[in-house]
Amino acid sequence: MYRVDLKDGADLDGFRRALRGLVALGADPGEVVWSVGAAPSLFGDDAPLPADAPPVSLPRPVGALIESVVCHRDPERYALLHRLVWRVLRGERDMLDHHADPLVHRLALLDKAVRRDLHKMHAFLRFREVRDPDGAERYVAWFEPDHFIVEATAPFFVERFESLVWTILTPVGSLQWDRRSLTVGPAAVKPEGLDRDDRFAEGWQRYYESTFNPARVNPAAMRAEMPRKYWANLPEAAAIPGMIRSAPARVQAMIEAEAATPRRRNPDKAVAAMARQEPATLAELNRIILAADPLVPGATQAVPGEGPVGAAIAIVGEQPGDQEDLEGRPFVGPAGQLLTRALEEAGIERSAAYLTNAVKHFKFVARGKRRLHQSPTAGEVKHYRWWLMKELGFVRPRLVVTLGATAALALTGRSVSVLRERGPMGFGDWNGFVTVHPSYLLRLPAGETAEQAYRDFVADLRRAREMVGEPPDA
Amino acid sequence: MDDALLDKLEILADAAKYDASCASSGAKRRTGGPDGIGSTTGAGICHAYTPDGRCVSLLKILLTNYCLFDCAYCINRRSSNVRRARFSVDEVVRLTLGFYKRNCIEGLFLSSGIIRSPDYTMEQLMLVARTLRRDHGFAGYIHLKTIPEASPWLIEQAGLWADRLSINLELASDRSLKEFAPEKDGTAIKAVMGQVGERILEAKEEKRRFSPAGQSTQMIVGADASTDLSVLETSDTLYRRYGLRRVYYSAFSPIPEASSALPAKPPPLQRENRLYQADWLLRYYGFTVEEIAAGGEGGMLDLGIDPKLAWALKNRERFPVDVNSADREMLLRVPGLGARAVDKIVEARRHTTLRLEDVARLSSGLKRARAFLIAADHHPGGLTDRADLRQRLVAPPKQLSLF
Ligand code: SF4
């Protein structure tokens, strides 16, 4: 016979040590007596277990099941787990899949009970705020779990309330978190007067009562998920009997009440005014754009379009760059300067055109001091598309020129191969024209190719100008 | 928290309680870390249950119950005489954090009556979410009700902060909507669902955050003449066309200050229950709307039995089914067997030939299932085809007791 003495509660370490010893000795589960929290045996007839037996390698699901089941209160838990391990090591490695096996079934029930208990502790534990003498925020909770799960719940509470200082007290152990480290402590008794002065606790009870619909009373469904044993530690539960008692009368009153005639007159003016929420001018739209948060990461500020309403040509770029982001104006960086020069050569006065971007914020990644431009994704372009369309609706240009693939995507809703499809293109409501983005020209290595690309760009702009009927240059 | 705020809380929680959606599920795992607060676990937690059996997971409130719209089924419509109140953005933020830190909630479910304009209202809702996330590092769950009449860019912004967006369709048919909610427009609602659905998909592909827990909607049942069939057809379209996560059904419930345009009598709550069961069959059990509806009569589900049993009773020639050999699809159609039990059966039968007592360990619905199942030591014989099978399976109605 072998006798194993384990500590009270979930003694995972003790069980693991014993298991290694038993496996090393090849002990049959029938030969082992598991004893929990008892004084060590006085009789010397039990065989000692080897102290430094090697680890036992088990399939991962078996390990997870052991960790859970040791938390259960069932005194047989260790013996059952030993039988499981015994069989697994004797060839039934997949035995946990055999859900109908009586041992697997029994362990599954224990595991389920532990997991439910964990879940209920996560759910029904309530913190109370207690003010330290120095005024610091601190939280305390009292809870009574069914099983030895206090340590197992710690990761949940630490993760969720990492930035708070809190204590959890239970009859089977306690936890203390000081924003840096966790201390696992001994069993505790229920502290007195936790509810004093915490008005949020009172608010929570009022909320609980208000969110209940008396027309749908169903206490059985409530008790199935929140059995009475939890009520003592739930402040809101004190209201339950009264809520159930008064429900039928409340419903009767609702049904009997005559269909109401409104006491107040219809707010006709306000209702009519509500329909006029749309921005009525470009300036109003720009105010909205400027007030909005970036829909792409980064950005100091939004960069609205620039130019006269009624401009014959609207030019749409991709997004503001580094300099545009700082100045709040479109096309002021290197690509913008190149555009200005090309416009001039094509005979378009920059100040007579409307210049804007498909995306209104600068998207970038920081590399040291530099902010590297990142193209917006197709989805991000769509976030901004509503504004672009509204904007064009105010400007009403005769031609919309898109620079580069992003702008073309914003106007057509599909990915356009700019070099292949450059030239006139219908953009739904708008006459359009697709050409390259000047930043593309800047990226070409200096030389004949770059010069040719620039000449093509200027030629595109000149064509665009002709399309809106401006006379060609003399 | 002062008394005035408590009073507002009472009014605005009461006004929000008719919305059935309270789930906090579907969010990716996330934590607020040492400077923020909160976490999402994926599954969501019910922190309490009220005596109506409903789960309390999120702080479910309205920003205000003042409203310029006049939807007949709604207690907050402008022509109702209810007490009114309005929270500031900051008050909602304080309440959410206060309850969250006491472990009362998973997060916030915020909706609102429409004040000033749909845009103004939507912006306020968005600002609450933004303040929680940006200024307080709040990593709990946020569900925002979307105002479909608001400008599309506000919805684009809301999705950046919220875990879930929802737009209530409220009534299954455009005609009913016109009749009961004159300011609303079914086409506009669906357009916004389309916008949100598209953005969610794109964000997922581009690995960005946009309403990561998807979108949902609610339909009120029993306020208009829509049949269960037409409600389910609408749901089916919503699931398939807009990728909705959930459709909630809310049996029209008597409200104080009811409008005279509404039916005097509420529909049986069981109808809502049956619709939820049918919805599950639609999403997880491979049933079509037509098959589900055929289990009942005249486009209405059978209130007496669940829709899977109703279907099985009308299609007895497909039973009994052998647990040891039938494919998963057919096992899913056996009354009493849930999807989890079916998966366990499929796994377990690789190791052994299942007898009835084995099935009993895998499923809690054996009583219902045995008339439709063959196991190694069990054959229902003529039971499957008995004329009184329905009576045998349905427990005699119990008197409902209140405690
Ligand atoms: S818009 Fe209609 S449903 Fe929404 S709060 Fe106003 S009246 Fe109620």
A391, A284 in Cβ contact below 8 A? no
Residue with tokens 């389910």: B232
CA dihedral A353→A354→A357→A362, nearest 10 degrees, is 90
Q: Say if residue B252 is in the same domain as residue B161.
A: yes
Looking at the partner chain, which of B18, B153, B208 has a beta carbon nearest the beta carbon of A387? B153
Task: Indicate whether residue B16 lines ligand 1 (CB < 6 A).
Answer: no
Q: What dihedral angle (degrees, nearest 10) is formed by the CA atoms of B310, B312, B314, B318?
A: 170
Which among A129, A222, A378 has CB closest to B50? A222
3-state SS assignment for residue A98:
coil
Coil, strand, or helix at residue A243? Answer: helix
Q: Are residues B18 and B113 in the same domain?
A: yes
- In 3D space, the residue among A269, A218, A391 whose CA is nearest the CA of residue B251 turns out to be A218
Q: Which residue has the tokens 């006459």?
A: A431
In this structure, which residue's CA is closest to atom 5 in ligand 1? B113
Encode pLDDT of A34-44 as tens digits: 998 876 655 55
Nearest atom of ligand 1 to the alpha carbon of B181: 2
Question: Cα separation of B238 and B261, whole Å?
Answer: 27
| Contact with chain B for residue A244, Cβ under 8 A | yes
Number of CB atoms found within 10 A of residue B8's CB: 21
pLDDT band at A471 (very low <50, low <70, confident <90, very high): low
Residue B294 lies in a domain: no
CA–centroid distance for A411 within its chain: 32
Judged by CB atoms closer than 8 Å, whether chains meet at B117 and A274 is answered as yes
Q: Is the backbone peptide bond immediately before B118 cis, with ω within 30 degrees of 0?
A: no
DSSP string, A356-384: EESSSS-BEEEETTEEEE-PPPHHHHHHH
Please check whether residue B367 lies inside any domain of the structure.
yes
Tokens of A426: 């219908």
- Give dist(CA B346, CA B321) in Å, integer: 13
- Residue A404, SS3? helix
Per-residue pLDDT for A401 more than 80? yes
The average confidence (pLDDT) of chain A is 91
Query: Are B367 and B263 contained in the same domain?
Result: no
Cβ(A334)–Cβ(A292) under 8 Å? Answer: no
Do B324 and B256 fall into the same domain? Answer: no
Are A308 and A354 in contact by the 8 Å Cβ rule? The answer is yes
pLDDT for B400: 46
Q: Considering only CB atoms, which chain A residues are within 8 Å of B156?
A: 295, 383, 386
When pLDDT is averaged across residues A91-98 and rounded to a whole number, the result is: 90
Q: What's the CATH code of the domain at B358?
A: 1.10.150
Residues 6+ apart with CB under 8 A from A252: none
| Residues B354 and B252 reside in one and the same domain | no
Q: Which of A458-467, B21-30, B194-203, B377-386 has the lowest mean pLDDT?
A: B21-30
pLDDT at B403: 42
ipTM for this model: 0.90
The predicted pLDDT at position B402 comes to 43
Span A235-285, pLDDT tens digits: 899 999 999 999 999 888 877 776 666 666 677 888 888 878 889 999 999
Please name the residues in contact with A219: beta carbons below 8 A apart, sequence gap of 6 or more: A240, A244, B51, B53, B402, B403
User: Is residue B321, in this structure, part of any structural domain at all?
Assistant: yes
User: Do B225 and B364 share a structural domain?
Assistant: no
**Per-residue pLDDT band at A136 (split at 50, 70, 90):** confident
Q: How far is CA B278 from the centre of its chain?
A: 12
Contacts of A273 in chain B (CB under 8 A): 117
What was the pLDDT predicted at A199?
Answer: 86
In CATH terms, the superfamily for domain A267-467 is Uracil-DNA glycosylase-like domain (3.40.470.10)
CB A184, CB A205: distance < 8 Å: no
Above 80 in pLDDT, residue B253?
A: no
Annotated domain spans of chain A: 2-120, 125-185, 199-260, 267-467
Q: Which of B10, B79, B254 sits opposite A262 (nearest CB)?
A: B79
* Domain enclosing residue B49, as ranges: 3-267
> Which phi and psi angles does A417 have, rounded to 5°?
-90, 100
Confidence of residue B317 (pLDDT cuts 50, 70, 90): very high
Give contacts of B 51-70 with A, CB under 8 A: 51-56, 59-60, 68
Angle at the Cα of B83 from the Cα atoms of B78 and B85, rounded to 5 degrees: 90
Q: Which residue has the tokens 């990561």?
A: B212
- For residue A188 the two structure tokens come to 């505790």
CB-based contact B105:B59 (threshold 8 Å): yes
Reported as a pLDDT band with limits 50, 70 and 90, residue A474 is: very low
Whether B95 and B221 share a structural domain: yes
Among A197-201, A253-257, A466-470, B139-143, which is the least confidently predicted range? A253-257
Chain B, residues 179-208, CB within 8 A of chain A, namely: 198-199, 202-203, 205-206, 208
Tokens of A26: 């090849």
Residues 6+ apart with CB under 8 A from A455: none
Same domain, B240 and B174: yes
Q: Is the dihedral of CA A216, A219, A223, A229 positive or negative?
A: positive
Beta-sheet pairing, B30-31 with A354-357: unpaired
Task: Report, as an integer, the average pLDDT of B105-121.
Answer: 95
Residue with tokens 């004093």: A196
Pairwise CA distance, residues B185 & B181, whole Å: 8
* CA atoms within 13 A of residue A196's CA, in its CB half-sphere: 6
pLDDT (mean) for B284-309:
94
What's the CA gap between A340 and A346, in Å, rounded?
10
Is residue A67 within 8 A of residue A16, CB to CB? The reply is no
- The answer to whether position B297 is within a domain reads no
Q: Residue A301's CB: how many other CB atoms inside 10 A? A: 16
Do B262 and B355 lie in one domain? The reply is no
Per-residue pLDDT tens digits for A296-307 = 878 899 999 999
Residue B138, in any domain of the structure: yes
Ligand 1 atom 1, closest CA? B69
pLDDT of residue A271: 81
B51/A217 Cβ within 8 A: yes
Alpha-carbon separation of residue A308 from A284, A320, A324, A355, A391 (angstroms): 15, 19, 19, 9, 12
**Tens of pLDDT, residues B336-358:** 999 999 999 999 999 889 999 99
Question: How would you classify the pairing of strands A137-142 and A166-170?
Answer: parallel
B370 and B249 housed in the same domain: no
Asked, for residue B176, whether it belongs to a domain, the answer is yes
Tell me the C-alpha distance between B80 and A398, whole Å: 50
User: Cα separation of A217 and A228, whole Å?
Assistant: 17
Torsion on CA atoms A410, A414, A418, A422, rounded to nearest 10: -90
Residue B298 lies in a domain: no
Ligand 1 site, residue B74, Cβ cutoff 6 A: yes
Residue nearest to atom 2 of ligand 1 (CA): B71
Structural domains of chain B, count? 2
Domain CATH for B11? 3.20.20.70
Are B195 and B119 in the same domain?
Answer: yes
Mean pLDDT along residues A129-151: 91
Same domain, B26 and B175: yes
B291 occurs within a structural domain: no
Chosen domain end from B202, B234, B267: B267
Mean pLDDT of B319-329: 95
